[in-house]
Chains A and B, each alone.
Chain A
Amino acid sequence: METAQDTIQQNEAKAETSKTLFKGTGSQVLLNGLIEEGVTTIFGYPGGAIMPIYDALYDYADKLEHILVRHEQGGIHAAQGFARASGEVGVVFATSGPGATNLVTGLADAQIDSTPLVCITGQVFAHLLGTDAFQETDVINITTPVTKWNYQVTDAKEIQEVLAKAFYIAKSGRPGPVLIDITKNAQLQLEEFPEYVKCNHIRSYRPKPKVRIEYIEQAAELINSAKKPFVLFGQGVILGSAEEEFKAFINKTGIPAAWTIMGEGAIPTSHPLNVGMLGMHGNYGPNVLTNEADVIIAIGMRFDDRVTGRLDKYAKQARVVHLDIDPAEIDKNVKAEVGVWGDCKETLPLLTNLVNENKHEDWLAKFRQYNQEEIDQVITPELYPTGDEMTMGEVLRNINEICGGDAVIVTDVGQHQMVACRYAKFNNTRSNITSGGLGTMGFGLPAAIGAKYGAPDKTVIAIIGDGGFQMTPQELGTIMQFGAAVKILILNNRFLGMVRQWQQLFHDKRYSFVNITSPDFVALAKSYYIEASKVDERANLRQALETMINHEGSYLLEVMVGRENNVFPMVPQGMSVSEIRLK
């Protein structure tokens, strides 16, 4: 029988545990929350509406490293590079209005490439919302289509719970970017705050579908019956930290595996079952044999149009098993006979248990056969050119020889990106950082800066075209000030190469505005106090690359490559993957 006395004592005990522990401003409690979430590095740019947060940051220099970028787009791409290299959540600060709108490209990039980010934007005072106040934009509505979740805070009391939810949403399930817009009054508001509690459950959010064993069983049955099974893997393997589980699965089944550019590096390039790259500029065998496989096992990939080419001629003969954490991806582009919903870190071991040990030697030999054809016709001329002009491929070959596959390679977007993805060697996961889904020119340099903070012990090489470099060159200033030792390699063909290639192949060589001129990149780098040099002869290439890689600190190397080289093989738009062209 409970007495009134007991009740009073219980209530007192409750009050004791919920005792306020921190008296301060919304800005301070936000920074405390970031520390609780394990944040160490923030990329940002201050402004009027986020000043209280920056004011608080002044006292947190020992706990939070803030990198002042030169443009908010640079900030968010750096946060992406950081997240992709480290596996942690990338964090960005930006002010209201133009600061926040400058984040949109990076948000869209992170949304489509499933990169976990938490972006904090300042916002005008709550009572000014909707009055077209100075530097007011409707950030929540602008960013809704390009965020996994966003929320506007108008009261400091919301900050802790919203921040905890933001981190949980950003990194759980299929990761993605989250934005919190905080009005200035909430940043300044003085309150007593309870202890910060991390979030691990939201009623309406199911980050991981419950794994249903019957689907695993059906998938295993299908795989065991296959004569020509083929694994297509994407970034899901990396995002789920399931590299080992994935290796165990292919090693046991002996199934050849090909990667999307987002999945590259999940298994080493040298793995005997790694048969290469899928898609528009992927390898010959994987593309052609997609239309010969009898069972396709798609793991953590989403059948993007760059991978599938013409859908009505894609793998029609194959029975498809699709493992994905996001149920919306299953049956979106390609019908799966068995859809296995769940985190592949959980589903792969269950599947590995049920599949038979096997070797598909004859089938694998077919890939090798096609590969030999590609080596003879495309790869050898690209990696060991005999002409006077340097090729992008030979630059990559030299990098592989110098770094041995241990470097983190960050690319921009275009021909150099396809060449880098095709030819770069990777021994480690989280080493290939590229803008896949959105194809954002200007991604390379800032993302490489972020990647260096995310993987400080690795050599980070940013491979960038002459066009892409001119989209975000201001981030050289960030390197100048904070000293990220990024190796910047500009492959200059004096064209917007990928567009030029398309104009050559499909628009009768009508080169419409692809002839881009460049500044003196070496002088530009030197004006930012960054060491730099330029190579336009093969004889000096190797030495120059070694100098760049061995240089203490950041270095920019410009390599003049052939003007009108094309990236092949290629699945032309509107064609089937089996119609891939070698020339």
Chain B
Amino acid sequence: MSTENTIEHKIDKADLDGKQEYTITVYAENRIGLLNRIAIIFSKRKINIESLNTSPSEIDGIHRFNIVIHEGYEVVRKLARQIEKQIEVLKVYFNTNEEIIWQELALYKVSTDEIAEKVTVERLLRQYGASAVVIRKDYTVFAVTGHREETDALVKALEPYELIEFVRSARVAIIKDSAGFHEKLKEFEAFEPGEELVENEFLEKGQKIFTM
């Protein structure tokens, strides 16, 4: 199985040292400890993970990781192969920002008094594509979905008005040229579905068990 994408990678927007943002997409079984196994591949080489998201994919039982790192093409290619080598990983893709559609979600908590007094909220919402998620007497929560610069812009705009809390999600990304994973999966499912996840059911039973 190849980790190479069929598309030509655009090596533009790279730094002078040839590094740029890559989004690695990993399709894997939903298995305890796999996150650690994947994370180790980066930490072993002293590579920082900029953002990491894991969630169910379009296929039942298969999880999808989105990992963003800032590295050169060769390093990313080798990382992808090392990840794909893990027993529970089905497939790995890696893409530059031009090759994906991606979004991040950010939430902003501000004082309602402060914001109602000093800001034209309606304009703020329009200008930054924000929506009000919660409006209470004491605080209001806004949400923005978009690229980093869009979510950052609202942080800057709100900073003068007591931004109480700010949180941003990891990147979620869809590959432009991907036909989905269903077809690929057929190759994998020669004659068996994925396995059930087994969790530790004994953790809460400490009081009831006598052990030595």
Contact = CB atoms under 8 A, between A and B. Distances in A.
A144 B87 contact: no
B211 interface: yes
Nearest to B37: A144
A328 B192 contact: no
B178 interface: no
A185 B36 contact: no
A125 B200 CA distance: 11
Contact of B203 (A126, A184, A206, A209): A126
A576 interface: no
Contacts of A161: 195
A154 B198 contact: yes
A149 B44 CA distance: 17
B189 interface: yes
The interface size bin for chain A is: 35 or more
A141 B36 contact: yes
Given A144-B37, A154-B198, A202 B87 contact: yes
B179 interface: no
B209 A127 contact: yes
A326 B211 contact: no
Contact of A126 (B29, B44, B200): B200
B88 interface: yes
Interface in A135-174: 140-141, 144-145, 148-150, 152, 154-155, 158, 161, 169
**Majority secondary structure of chain B interface residues (helix, strand, loop or mixed):** loop
A209 B198 contact: no
B211 to A, nearest CB: 5
Contact of A204 (B28, B33, B37): B28
Contacts of A327: 1-3, 81, 84-85
A581 interface: no
Interface in A176-208: 183-185, 201-206
Interface residues of B, number: 39
Contacts of A213: none
B40 A140 contact: no
B193 interface: yes
A204 B188 contact: yes
Given A203-B192, A204-B28, A327-B2, A141 B85 contact: no
A13 interface: no
**Residue from A150, A201, A203, A206 with most neighbouring chain B CB atoms (10 Å):** A203
29 contacts: A125-B202, A125-B209, A126-B200, A126-B201, A127-B202, A127-B211, A128-B211, A130-B203, A140-B33, A141-B33, A155-B198, A155-B201, A158-B198, A161-B195, A185-B209, A201-B192, A203-B90, A203-B188, A203-B192, A204-B29, A204-B90, A204-B188, A326-B85, A327-B1, A327-B3, A328-B78, A328-B84, A328-B85, A332-B78
Interface of A: 125-131, 140-141, 144-145, 148-150, 152, 154-155, 158, 161, 169, 183-185, 201-206, 209, 326-328, 331-332
Interface of B: 1-3, 28-29, 32-33, 36-37, 40, 44, 77-78, 81-82, 84-85, 87-90, 188-195, 198, 200-206, 209, 211
A-B pairs, top 8 by smallest CB distance, nearest first, are A126-B202, A328-B81, A127-B202, A127-B206, A204-B90, A149-B87, A154-B200, A328-B85
